[in-house]
Structure 1
Amino acid sequence: MDRIDRQLLAALVNDGRATYQELGRLVRLSSNTVADRVRKLRKDGVIRGYRAELDLAVLGRGLQILTDIRLRETVDRAGFERGLVNVPQVIAAMRMTGDYDYLLHVVVANALELEHIVDRLKAELGVREARSRLLLHEVPLGQDRILDV
């Protein structure tokens, strides 16, 4: 991966809908050459997909919560992970090292909804302990920063 690939990736991180023509102007290459490079980056797995970024507050999910989860000893981790698919308020889950088993990113409309989610996780998915923290704001650093390393 060379400097031009890194420039293309940075541009796509910031605007996944950029056309090959726009990208070509940015890196001073033809749109066909850019298309070939982007296809190769996709084939190599560097680019995994393109997605829309949602405004959760506009969708009525203005509270973002980070919740540390500790499972009961007898809970099957794979079963817990499969069960999260049925809890749409959980938009990300990471298995962790340390005192807790998972970190969940939960989006809710209000504290009552969060209470229901935590109760559901305990009753249905074998959560022993949940420690939640309100996300005040996210510092917009961006994935494209890693391209400068």
Structure 2
Amino acid sequence: MDRIDRELLAALINDGRATYQELGRLVRLSSNTVADRIRRLRKDGVIRGYRAELDYAVLGRDMQIMSDIRLQDTVDPAEFERGLDDVPQVISASRLTGEYNYQLRIVCANALELEGIIDRLKKHNGVRQAHSRLVLHEVPLARDRILGA
């Protein structure tokens, strides 16, 4: 991966809908050459896809919660992970080392909905303990800064 690939990735991180023509102007290459580079980056697995960034508050889910989850000893982690598909308010999940098994990011409308989600996770998904915290705001970090590491 060279400097031009990094510039293309930085541009796509900040605007995944940029056209090949716009990207070409940015890196001073033809749109066909840019398309070839992006196809290669996709084939190599550097670019895994493109996603819309949602504003959950606009969707009526203005509470974001980080919840550390400890499973019951008898729960299979793979089964727990599959069960998360049935809880649409869980927007991300990470398996952890340490005291807790998982960290979930949950979006919901209010405390009553959060209570229902936690109760459901305990009743149907084998959660023994949930330690939840309200996200006050996200710290805006440049998403393309990883390319300089």
Query: For the superposition of Structure 1 and Structure 2, which TM-score range results when normalised by the shorter chain?
Result: over 0.9
Q: Name the structure 2 match of 1:11.
A: 11
- Quote the Cα distance in structure 2 between the aligned partners of 1:26 and 1:119: 51
- Quote the Cα distance in structure 2 between the aligned partners of 1:17 and 1:29: 18
SS at match of 1:120: helix
Question: Structure 1 length as normaliser, TM-score?
Answer: 0.99
- Quote the Cα distance in structure 2 between the aligned partners of 1:3 and 1:136: 37
Q: Percent identity?
A: 76
Q: Name the structure 1 match of 2:107.
A: 107
Alpha carbons 2:95, 2:101 under 8 Å: kept? yes
Q: CA deviation at 1:140?
A: 1.7
CA deviations on 1:12-41 (whole Å, 9 max, x unpaired) are 000000000000000001101100000000
AA in 2 matched with 1:120: R
Q: CA deviation at 1:142?
A: 3.8
- Quote the Cα distance in structure 2 between the aligned partners of 1:108 and 1:78: 25
- Quote the Cα distance in structure 2 between the aligned partners of 1:142 and 1:102: 26
Question: Structure 2 length as normaliser, TM-score?
Answer: 0.99
Q: CA deviation at 1:144?
A: 1.2
Q: Name the structure 2 match of 1:132.
A: 132
Q: CA deviation at 1:91?
A: 0.5
Q: Does 1:81 align with 2:81?
A: yes
- Quote the Cα distance in structure 1 between the aligned partners of 2:23 and 2:140: 23
SS at match of 2:73: coil
AA in 2 matched with 1:23: L
Q: Name the structure 1 match of 2:58.
A: 58
- Quote the Cα distance in structure 1 between the aligned partners of 2:39 and 2:77: 36
CA deviations on 1:103-125 (whole Å, 9 max, x unpaired) are 00000000000000000000001
- Quote the Cα distance in structure 1 between the aligned partners of 2:86 and 2:123: 14
Cα root mean square deviation, aligned: 0.6
Aligned length: 149
Q: Following superposition, which runs of at least 4 residues in structure 1 exceed 4 angstroms of deviation?
A: none
Q: Name the structure 2 match of 1:71.
A: 71
Q: Name the structure 2 match of 1:147.
A: 147
